[in-house]
């Protein structure tokens, strides 16, 4: 009996010892395979991981003979090794094909000012796509933080069949993106960001053209679209900006890359001195102007009308449009302007004050240079792009009042009637703030009621109590709602409404103001975002086909109406057309907007009381 118990004890001991291996082994295996799958890793990463796990199996007995502290060290080294493996076997960066759907057919050659190019046809050969066309020289080396220089010419035929590098920007790891998508229940947002295997580089000043023109005899209207991304991210290659559908309607559609982050908006006294125009910063805006000039000189070869150009953009792209409409440097480069959810007519409340002056921006640049222990711009130019990007994570990078691109604030330029007086089609969405407040973005997200009150009192000072009456935050749930609503109204609605009012007051050209109120279909968490920031884009440019969502006939109808408005406006400066609901131009007295949603028609401007408060608040900032 005693021997049987001893035998049973020895057997249980062996099982227990074996579990000391199998439990951590299986946990590591499951974790590794999960990360490899989520990160969409290469076959090399999978193969090396499997080989490493097989080696561990063969070494099982040796591992078990070590003391527990050595075993723990071995497991830790294996976990670290597999972690590095997933990083260093990540898919190599590749420039995306301009036509990802099926085998592409090469187009006939076109002559640009820099040489001959060929593009590719879309899948049904109704649209020609020319991607990665240089509109300026690579802003690298000594050209870092200088105005864009002319692109070099080439001999032979340049194959314009792949998108170019994206501008330098931080990339969100795939596993983090997938966690966001799992929370939303859909990966639809992946079509609004660069792909993780797209290369980023300072060598990024390229544009892309979609055209259905059969010849350059009958010239088509042109839309030049500027991507968003808070002036720190984005690319003209992003799926949501695909120009095929608009090209099919009869527009030559252009997207571009421009310098962003510290590469696009660094100011410093030494840069100002060397510039030749007594200013620094706003290099990203100068890039956009260079792209518009390229379009003016070259778009006729693609069947476009160089004298019928509409500059358009969303978010930071729309803010850029407001800068371009205000800038004397952009005069004559476009005949119409479209702005979706973004302008720079004042501050951003709890998220930041008004635009910096040149002096203020130069001080930011001096402080940054000091933080890097550098004594000159030459030393900063020698820093690698990756090191500079990493070091500048917390540096403010936005357009500034530099005295050159912007001789004054955009508000003052419009108030004095000195803007480029062109017809504008502008607006915002009903629930803009939800994307920034209710999702766990690293730099954003909702704060508690107490924290929000602190932010409000710091930003609004003597008007804080009035703000809190409009946007109460007695509980955390109420604070979240108020953060979404105040963010929507101040960051977006007020700027677009102010833009419309000022153009109506001082300009001769008409304004068409919209309010997008339609929520996209999808899982519950996705639908809860409502008509949030950026959700109008696939409707405005008729790109629902690119999203993996169950769009209804109602969605398709809205997309057809909205994209037709956008096409008509690009063609004539007036969005109206046969069979479309009548869109009357904005009138400050009646103060009505065009609702685009389940109902399409004019409505009174929403949230007038909130907008009035921000009018008074911003007026106080301007008068200080």
Count of other CB atoms within 10 angstroms of residue 170: 12
CA 425 to CA 510: how far, in whole Å? 9
Tokens 């992946």 sit at which residue? 190
Q: Are 486 and 333 within 8 A, CB to CB?
A: no
CA 288 to CA 286: how far, in whole Å? 5
Tokens of 554: 């109602």
Contacts of 214 (CB under 8 A, 6+ apart): 303
CA 541 to CA 191: how far, in whole Å? 14
DSSP state of 162: B
DSSP state of 225: E
CA neighbor of 92 nearest in space, from 166, 202, 200, 199: 199
Q: Are 305 and 280 within 8 A, CB to CB?
A: no
DSSP state of 535: T
215 conformational bin, left if phi > 0, alpha if psi -120 to 50, beta if neither: beta
Distances (CA, A) of 439 to 179, 486, 520: 11, 16, 16
Q: Are 258 and 205 within 8 A, CB to CB?
A: yes
591 conformational bin, left if phi > 0, alpha if psi -120 to 50, beta if neither: left
Q: Are 175 and 35 within 8 A, CB to CB?
A: yes
Q: Are 257 and 228 within 8 A, CB to CB?
A: no
Q: Is 123 a catalytic residue?
A: no
Residues 571-594 as b or e (16 or more Cβ within 10 Å = b):
bebbbbeeeeeebebbeeeeebbb
Tokens of 325: 């409409």
Q: Which of 233, 280, 315, 564 is catalytic?
A: 315
> Any idea what the Cα angle at residue 91 is, between residues 85 and 93, rounded to 5°?
130
Helix intervals (H) in 328-409: 358-371, 377-382, 385-391
Q: What are phi and psi of 80, to 5 degrees?
A: -65, -45
> Any idea what the Cα angle at residue 326 is, between residues 323 and 330, rounded to 5°?
85
CA neighbor of 476 nearest in space, from 444, 442, 443, 453: 453
State which H helix or E strand residue 116 sits in. strand 115-118
Residues 442-460 as b or e (16 or more Cβ within 10 Å = b):
eebebbebeebbebbeebb
CA 216 to CA 230: how far, in whole Å? 36
- Annotated catalytic sites, by residue? 315
């Amino acid at each position: 009996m005693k021997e049987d118990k001893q035998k049973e004890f020895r057997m249980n001991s062996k099982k227990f010892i074996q579990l000391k291996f199998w439990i951590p082994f299986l946990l590591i295996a499951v974790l590794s395979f999960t990360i490899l799958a989520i990160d969409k890793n290469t076959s090399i990463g999978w193969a090396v991981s499997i080989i490493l796990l097989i080696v561990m199996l063969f070494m099982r007995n040796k591992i078990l003979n070590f003391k527990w502290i050595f075993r723990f060290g071995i497991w830790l080294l294996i976990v670290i090794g597999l972690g590095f493996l997933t990083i260093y076997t990540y898919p190599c960066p590749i420039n995306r094909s301009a036509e990802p759907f099926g085998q592409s057919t090469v187009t006939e050659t076109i002559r640009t000012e820099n040489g001959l190019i060929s593009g590719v046809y879309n899948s049904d050969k109704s649209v020609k796509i020319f991607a990665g066309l240089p509109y300026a020289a690579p802003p690298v080396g000594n050209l870092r933080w200088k105005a864009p220089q002319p692109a070099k010419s080439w001999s032979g035929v340049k194959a314009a069949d792949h998108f170019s590098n994206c501008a330098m920007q931080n990339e969100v790891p795939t596993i983090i993106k997938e966690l966001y998508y799992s929370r939303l229940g859909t990966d639809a947002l992946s079509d609004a960001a660069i792909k993780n295997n797209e290369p980023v580089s300072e060598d990024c000043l390229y544009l892309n053209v979609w055209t259905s023109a059969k010849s350059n005899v009958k010239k088509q209207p042109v839309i030049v679209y500027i991507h968003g991304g808070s002036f720190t991210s984005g690319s003209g290659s992003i799926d949501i900006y695909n120009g095929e559908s608009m090209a099919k309607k009869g527009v030559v559609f252009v997207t571009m890359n421009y310098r962003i982050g510290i590469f696009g908006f660094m100011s410093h006294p030494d840069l100002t001195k060397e510039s030749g125009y007594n200013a620094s910063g706003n290099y990203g805006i100068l890039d956009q102007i260079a792209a518009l000039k390229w379009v003016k000189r070259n778009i006729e070869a693609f069947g476009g009308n160089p004298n019928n150009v509409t500059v358009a953009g969303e978010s930071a792209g729309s803010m850029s449009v407001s800068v371009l409409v205000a800038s004397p440097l952009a005069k004559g480069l476009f005949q119409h302007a479209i702005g979706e959810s973004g302008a720079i007519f004042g501050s951003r409340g709890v998220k930041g004050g008004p635009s910096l002056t040149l002096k203020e921006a130069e001080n930011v640049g001096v402080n940054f240079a000091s933080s890097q222990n550098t004594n000159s711009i030459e030393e900063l130019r020698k820093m690698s792009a990756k090191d500079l990007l990493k070091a500048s994570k917390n540096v403010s990078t936005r357009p500034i009042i530099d005295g050159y691109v912007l001789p004054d604030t955009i508000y003052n330029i419009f108030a004095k009637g000195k803007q480029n007086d062109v017809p504008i089609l502008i607006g915002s969405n009903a629930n803009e703030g939800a994307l920034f407040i209710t999702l766990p973005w690293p730099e954003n997200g909702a704060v508690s009621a107490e924290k929000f009150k602190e932010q409000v009192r710091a930003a609004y000072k003597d008007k804080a109590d009035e703000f809190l009456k409009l946007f109460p935050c007695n509980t955390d749930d109420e604070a979240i709602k108020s953060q979404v609503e105040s963010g929507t109204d101040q960051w977006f609605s007020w700027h677009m409404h102010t833009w419309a009012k000022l153009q109506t007051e001082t300009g001769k050209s008409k304004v068409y103001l919209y309010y997008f109120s339609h929520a996209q279909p999808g899982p519950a968490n996705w639908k809860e975002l409502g008509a949030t920031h950026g959700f109008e884009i696939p409707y405005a440019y008729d790109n629902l086909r690119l999203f993996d969502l169950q769009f209804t006939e109602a969605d398709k109808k809205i997309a057809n109406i909205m994209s037709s408005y956008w096409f008509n406006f690009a063609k004539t400066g007036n969005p109206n057309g046969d069979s479309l609901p009548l869109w009357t131009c904005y009138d400050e007295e009646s103060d009505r907007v065009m609702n685009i949603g389940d109902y399409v028609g004019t409505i009174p401007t929403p949230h007038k009381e909130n907008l009035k408060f921000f009018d008074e608040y911003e007026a106080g900032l301007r008068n200080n």
